[in-house]
């Protein structure tokens, strides 16, 4: 820290972005207060699947931020009860999906090939683990995250580093957040991690959420994950994420029509049926398993790109970290470390080089 480095931060939001940012700053000896309308377990972050891998997000640092997150999650996976598992599995494309994506971006993408365990799969070549109906893919080991458990882990870690968490307080302005935290203008920086809340708070009219639905079932003994990438524009996909005793199965992107309220709807029974049918076709042992719960949540998609930067047009010191789309888990540490660098508590030279790949799903988001 230099003498001009701020000493306190008010972080708005207790989803994965706010909590991870809170941990980075508090562990660098910044006095941090998180203010959030909802508890961590009530956020959209708690609804995610979740697997590492950028989806529905764009920024020229996506690959670098994803890699930084991978490294941190790999370390945390060693902590019992953290909710992080490093699991092997397959990511696959149908022939149509492969051709459509290949005409738009590099397949396989750089964020996947940088993983040391990455191995290609191809119909007619090495087909191991490629389910029937799929043409191309890869096998690798990635973090699979049990979100409720991981958010609890982050909350404990944040508090252990001296951070304060205030929930049940919706703020109407950035000044209001700083006042609520009880910090003076001179000492504190406000960090906006309000996800979709940024639509009104910033205000940012480029926010355009999609709704995701997941089914949680009892695990019949599945140890590897599976996920596919349907043709661009197709709103339903298949992912199977084993997490100990349960398997989290998805998924879909339900779009909002103009005028629709941005709230998580009740689970759609037809979507549930299709999610289960697709998963059973890939993993027949899922047939007839007990459904334990369902989750519906919103992805805070920003049609421009994820926003992690100083907002210099304000009278107070404000850093944004929002708009992570379908990749808030994947980008969480990369973006939080970036906030630490902007803040001045981490050295800018820590930042690895950008590769600048567009991501699968980015076209849909844009
Ligand atoms: C079904 C589903 C599956 C997903 N799967 C994956 C996956 O596999 N991998 C992946 O990387 N990502 C996945 N995502 C996306 C990921 O969950 C999001 O990108 C991420 O959770 C966004 O986190 P966040 O902290 O920015 O926002 P949120 O979790 O929405 O948190 C926002 C916080 O801000 C607070 N807030 C908002 N407005 C205000 C205000 N005015 N005053 C005070 N507080 C406020 C809220 O209360 C909340 O605490 C998935 C999402 C869904 C819905």
2 in a structural domain: no
253 in a structural domain: yes
Ligand 1 pocket test: pick from 12, 13, 174, 213 the residue with the most ligand atoms within 8 Å of its Cβ.
13
Q: Is the CB of 299 within 6 Å of ligand 1?
A: yes
- Which pLDDT score is estimated for 142? 98
Ligand 1 pocket test: pick from 20, 22, 43, 174 the residue with the most ligand atoms within 8 Å of its Cβ.
43
Q: Which atom of ligand 1 lies closest to the CA of 201?
A: 41
Handedness of CA 258, 264, 266, 270 (dihedral sign): positive
Average pLDDT score over the chain = 92
Residue 201 C-beta-side C-alpha neighbours within 13 Å: 26
1 in a structural domain: no
**Pairing relationship of beta strands 318-322 and 307-310 according to DSSP bridges:** antiparallel
Q: Is the CB of 332 within 6 Å of ligand 1?
A: no
Label residues 144-164 b or e (16+ Cβ within 10 Å = b). bbbbbebbbbbbebbeebebb
**359, pLDDT greater than 50:** no
**What's the token pair of residue 257?**
């029509």
CA distance 100 to 94: 10
pLDDT band, residue 190 (cuts 50/70/90): very high
CATH number of the domain to which 298 belongs: 3.40.50.720
- Which pLDDT score is estimated for 354? 36
216-256 per-position pLDDT tens digit? 999 999 999 999 999 988 999 999 999 999 999 999 998 89
3 in a structural domain: no
**Domains of the chain: total:** 1
**285, pLDDT greater than 50:** yes
Neighbours of 277 (CB within 10 A): 12
pLDDT band, residue 313 (cuts 50/70/90): confident
Mean per-residue pLDDT, 345-360: 54
pLDDT band, residue 3 (cuts 50/70/90): low
- Which pLDDT score is estimated for 56? 86
- Structural domain including 189 reads 8-365
Within 8 A by CB and 6+ apart from 226, the residues are 89, 90, 91, 92, 131, 238, 239, 240, 282, 283
Mean per-residue pLDDT, 160-185: 93
347 in a structural domain: yes
- Which pLDDT score is estimated for 152? 98
- Which pLDDT score is estimated for 78? 86
- Which pLDDT score is estimated for 364? 28
CA neighbor of 262 nearest in space, from 193, 221, 188, 210: 210
More confident residue, 349 or 66: 66
> In this structure, which residue's CA is closest to atom 33 in ligand 1?
13
Mean per-residue pLDDT, 191-206: 97
- Which pLDDT score is estimated for 4? 72
CA distance 156 to 176: 26
Q: Is the CB of 109 within 6 Å of ligand 1?
A: no
Neighbours of 307 (CB within 10 A): 20
Pick from 203-207, 230-234, 345-349: least confident: 345-349
103-148 per-position pLDDT tens digit? 999 999 999 999 999 999 999 999 999 999 999 999 999 999 999 9
Estimate to the nearest angstrom the gap between the alpha carbon of 82 and the chain centroid: 16
- Which pLDDT score is estimated for 5? 80
Q: Is the CB of 174 within 6 Å of ligand 1?
A: no
CA distance 128 to 300: 35
> In this structure, which residue's CA is closest to atom 36 in ligand 1?
194
Pick from 119-123, 183-187, 282-286: least confident: 183-187
Percent of the chain topping pLDDT 70: 94
CA distance 239 to 320: 31
Pick from 89-93, 223-227, 251-255, 350-354: least confident: 350-354
Q: Is the CB of 201 within 6 Å of ligand 1?
A: yes
Q: Is the CB of 45 within 6 Å of ligand 1?
A: yes
Q: What is the 3-state secondary structure (H, E, C) of the chain?
A: CCCCCCCEEEEECCCHHHHHHHHHHHCCCCEEEEEECCCHHHCHHHHCCCECCCCCCCCCCHHHHHHHHHHHHHHHCCCCCCCEEEEEEEEEECHHHHHHHHCCCCCCCHHHHCCCCCEEEECCCCCCCCCCCCCEEEEEEEEEECHHHHHHHHHHHHHHCCCEEEECCCCCCHHHHHHHHCCCCCCEEEEECCHHHHHHHCCCCCECCEEEEEEEEECCCCCCEEEECCCCCCCEEEEEEEECCEEEEEEECEECCCCCCCCCCCCCHHHHHHHHHHHHHHCHHHCCCCEEEEEEEEECEECCCCEEEECCCCCCCEEEEECEHHHCCCCHHHHHHHHHHHHCCCCHHHCCCCCCCCCCCHHHHC
75 in a structural domain: yes
Burial class from Cβ neighbours inside 10 Å (0-12, 13-18, 19+) for residue 32 reads: buried
**What's the token pair of residue 157?**
């870690």
CA distance 269 to 274: 9
**298, pLDDT greater than 90:** yes
């Amino acid at each position: 820290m230099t003498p001009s480095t701020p000493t306190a931060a008010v972080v708005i939001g207790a989803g994965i972005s706010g909590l991870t940012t809170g941990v980075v700053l508090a562990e660098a000896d910044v006095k941090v207060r998180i203010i959030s309308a909802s508890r961590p377990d009530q956020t959209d972050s708690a609804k995610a699947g979740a697997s590492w891998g950028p989806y529905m997000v764009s920024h020229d640092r996506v690959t670098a931020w994803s890699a930084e997150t991978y490294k941190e999650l790999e370390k945390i996976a060693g902590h019992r009860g953290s909710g992080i598992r490093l699991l092997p599995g397959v990511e696959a494309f149908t022939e149509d999906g492969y051709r459509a994506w290949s005409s738009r971006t590099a397949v396989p993408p750089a964020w996947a090939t940088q993983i040391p365990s990455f191995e290609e799969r191809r119909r007619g070549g090495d087909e191991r683990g490629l389910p029937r109906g799929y043409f191309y893919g890869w096998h690798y080991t990635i973090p699979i995250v049990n979100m409720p458990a991981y958010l609890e882990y982050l909350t404990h870690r944040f508090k252990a580093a001296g951070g304060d968490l205030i929930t049940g307080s919706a703020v109407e302005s950035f000044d209001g957040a700083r006042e609520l935290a009880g910090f003076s203008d001179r000492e504190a920086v406000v960090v906006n991690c309000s996800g979709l809340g940024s639509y009104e708070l910033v205000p940012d009219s480029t926010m355009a959420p999609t709704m995701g639905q997941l089914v949680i079932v009892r695990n019949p003994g599945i140890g590897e994950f599976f996920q596919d990438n349907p043709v661009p524009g197709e709103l339903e996909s298949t992912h199977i994420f084993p997490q100990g005793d349960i398997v989290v199965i998805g998924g879909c992107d339900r779009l909002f029509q103009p005028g629709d309220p941005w709230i998580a709807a009740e689970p759609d029974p037809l979507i549930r049926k299709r999610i289960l049918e697709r998963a059973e076709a890939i993993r027949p042992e899922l047939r007839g398993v007990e459904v334990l719960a369902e989750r519906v949540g919103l992805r805070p998609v920003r049609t421009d790109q994820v926003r992690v930067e100083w907002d210099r047009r304000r009278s107070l010191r404000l850093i944004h970290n929002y708009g992570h789309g379908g990749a808030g888990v994947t980008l969480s540490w990369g973006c939080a470390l970036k906030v630490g660098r902007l803040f001045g508590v981490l050295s800018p030279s820590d930042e690895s080089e950008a590769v600048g790949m567009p991501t699968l799903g980015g076209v849909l988001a844009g």
